[in-house]
Amino acid sequence: MEILLAIVVASAVIFFGALISMGNERQRKAIDGLREQVVLWSVQDLKIKREHLAQTVQVPDALVWLNQVTSKVCGSPVNLSVIEQVDNPDVLVCLNGDNNGKFVFTMIPPNEIRAIQRARRNRVFRYSDTNPLLSLPRNSSAYECSVLNVGILFDLELAIAWRKLTTPSAECRESLWIYVLD
């Protein structure tokens, strides 16, 4: 009799455990569905806000905008002044107002710069020798500015500001790279 009672209790525990597990799985699926709906709603909300704001995007002073972006990404206030602008590829070299560091701005990520430097060593180089990207030290800090770390209108503002700071026909991507030379 005791064995039968133990078997019934063990069976009941296993049965209720299975019911709880199935209920938990159903709740997990429902929570995942809610999470997906919240993500889709958030993305759609951002698209609507962005479309509304995109019509009014203006960058009256490109250098002030560049100072704000650099300060936000690097974490310390800067007062930049442009000292050099090079074409093909577009590069902007700025000096911090307190002469504490040089900033090189470009659309080219570090891996492409290394490829450019290797190509120069291989004598298959299409850029001029005066381009500041060629003299970037390996240990220079690189920061990527994008919609994720600057703001939802960054790429639209970047296109306007970059063309004001460089040439009107300058190529724009969705991110700007800042190389800090101490």
**Using alpha carbons only, what angle is made at residue 67 by residues 65 and 71, rounded to the nearest 5 degrees?**
120
Is residue 143 scored above 80 in pLDDT? Answer: yes
Residue 124 confidence (pLDDT): 44
Q: Which residue has the higher pLDDT, 16 or 119?
A: 16
The pLDDT tens digits of the residues spanning 51-82 come to: 888 888 899 999 999 999 999 998 888 898 88
Residue 37 confidence (pLDDT): 92
If we measure between CA atoms, which residue out of 115, 105, 95 comes closest to residue 182? 95
Residue 65 confidence (pLDDT): 93
Q: In the structure, what pLDDT confidence band is assigned to residue 50 with cuts at 50, 70 and 90?
A: confident
CA distances from 24 to 9, 29, 31, 172 (A): 22, 9, 10, 49
**Which amino acid is present at 85?**
Q
Q: Which residue has the higher pLDDT, 170 or 146?
A: 146
